[in-house]
Amino acid sequence: MNKLVPMNSLGSENQRVLSGMRPTGRMHLGHLHGVLKNWLKLQHEYECFFFVADWHALTTNYEQSRDIEASMWEMLVDWLAVGVDPGRARIFIQSQIPEHAELHLLLSMVTPLGWLERVPTYKEQLEQITEKDLATYGFLGYPVLQAADILMYKAGWVPVGEDQVPHVELTREIARRFNFMFGREPGFESKVEAAIKKLGKRNAKLYRELRKQYQEQGDQAALQTARALIAGNQNLPLGDRDRLLGSLEGTGRTILAEPQPLLTEAARMPGLDGRKMSKSYGNTIGLRDDPEEIEQKLRTMPTDPARARRSDPGNPEKCPVWEFHKIYSDQKTRDWVWKGCTTAGIGCLECKQPVIESVLKELKPIRERAAEIEANSDMLRNVVSQGCDAAREVAHDTMDEVRQAMGLKYR
Ligand code: TRP
Ligand code: SF4
């Protein structure tokens, strides 16, 4: 993966990744190929924070609040079992960092209602999820809670699926609004002037010229050059660099950095019936399912309906087994499937055999590690407690700045 540089002011230095998952219990192949494998890659390239969004579960499942804990530990076992590495990534639990609630509250004050009502998932879920009463304050405000999660860690990147991109967009808008409102500290202009002087004569002149070109003519190249100029002055205090950026871009000081969504080009992992793999469809293969159960599920999974008999040729594009081959098989095997299927040269059970073997092979070490982790629950609790400590440290600092910017740091 190439390291893109986010295009927001402060964020150009920010290589922190943050992502969260609701506590949904044991993970399945959809989670593994859609999300977790991406996390495994990211943890080598970025400073990663991965957390359990347990309060988010409450926004829709408040009546089952007592189920959250068990689901959470099951999920965490699987995170570690697949290789999320506490030596590289911080793993924590949202509700153990109460600062998330404080930031949520403060952000909620400046978030226009219309922004929330326009979030696509809001109306959709209100209409689709009829078995629960989602006409609550918490459900409407859920994207603000997510914004607080992200902004708390000044994450530059948020790996999410397609459906979550509007939430990251909203987070950017909230950050921008917050910075605009509270980033103009008293005496901002004179502090900017003082910061410019610290650049030295030549650079100060250059900065003023570039700022003028950008602000008067919208010159993007000038903006880029000026940003680089500021970033290049690492000996300038961070506060001053923020002010220079804020003055350049016509905002205030950046208190909350705008994140970017990091779209996963994840393999599409369909369920056993070809629909999205999801517990609610009952079409999953769990990472810790018994091998016999997995084999049984795959053997009985539907194939191209046109192949009612062994002698009928089929079309892999109409068969969910083919989707599994795309993920699990090499080119040679896929050629064999394609030819065998379209000419009725192979039977469906025969075709499934390499998939069965690959899935079992992939899951064996995961199942074994999960058993070890379960047997050593102290280890897991330690990992999480250390992750929470690290998260709390960042959250503490962010809230300090936020309260300061809003004038809420009373002495
Ligand atoms: N809203 C996400 C979901 O339902 C979970 C989540 C909460 C999240 N906070 C987050 C994801 C922050 C990324 C970043 O799947
Ligand atoms: Fe599907 Fe394979 Fe059967 Fe073709 S041969 S229908 S790809 S299972």
According to the model, what pLDDT value does residue 399 have?
Answer: 98
CA distance 405 to 410: 12
CB neighbour class for 137 (10 Å; exposed up to 12, middle 13-18, buried from 19): exposed
According to the model, what pLDDT value does residue 12 have?
Answer: 40
Å from CA of 331 to ligand 2 middle? 16
Query: Residue ranges of the domains in the chain?
Result: 5-180+258-267+376-406, 185-249, 288-374
How many Cβ atoms sit within 10 Å of the Cβ of residue 228?
Answer: 12
According to the model, what pLDDT value does residue 368 have?
Answer: 98
pLDDT < 70 stretches in the chain: 1-13, 266-267
CATH 1.10.240.10 assigned to domain 288-374? The reply is: yes
Any atom of ligand 2 within 6 Å of the Cβ of 301 = no
Chain-centroid distance of CA 28 in Å reads: 18
- Inter-residue contact 402 to 117 (CB < 8 Å): no
The atom number, within ligand 1, closest to the CA of 155 reads: 14
- Which residues, 6 or more positions from 74, have their beta carbon under 8 angstroms from its beta carbon? 25, 26
* N-to-C CA span, the chain: 47
Correct CATH for 5-180+258-267+376-406 of 3.40.50.1470, 3.40.50.2300, 3.90.420.10, 3.40.50.620: 3.40.50.620
pLDDT tens digits along 71-93: 999 999 999 999 999 999 999 99
Query: What is the best residue among 304, 312, 317 to mutate for testing ligand 2's pocket, by most ligand atoms within 8 Å of CB?
Result: 304
CA distance 201 to 139: 53
- Which residues, 6 or more positions from 370, have their beta carbon under 8 angstroms from its beta carbon? 77, 78, 81, 287, 288
According to the model, what pLDDT value does residue 67 have?
Answer: 96
Q: Annotate 307-339 with DSSP letters as a single string.
A: -SSTTS---GGG-HHHHHHHHH--HHHHHHHHH
Q: Which of 129, 152, 126 is nearest to 140 (CA)?
A: 126
Any atom of ligand 2 within 6 Å of the Cβ of 140 = no
Q: Which of 115, 177, 160 is nearest to 142 (CA)?
A: 115
CA distance 243 to 250: 10
Of how many residues is the chain composed? 411
Q: What is the model's pTM?
A: 0.87
CA distance 271 to 276: 5
Any atom of ligand 1 within 6 Å of the Cβ of 56 = yes
187: left (phi over 0), alpha (psi -120 to 50) or beta: left
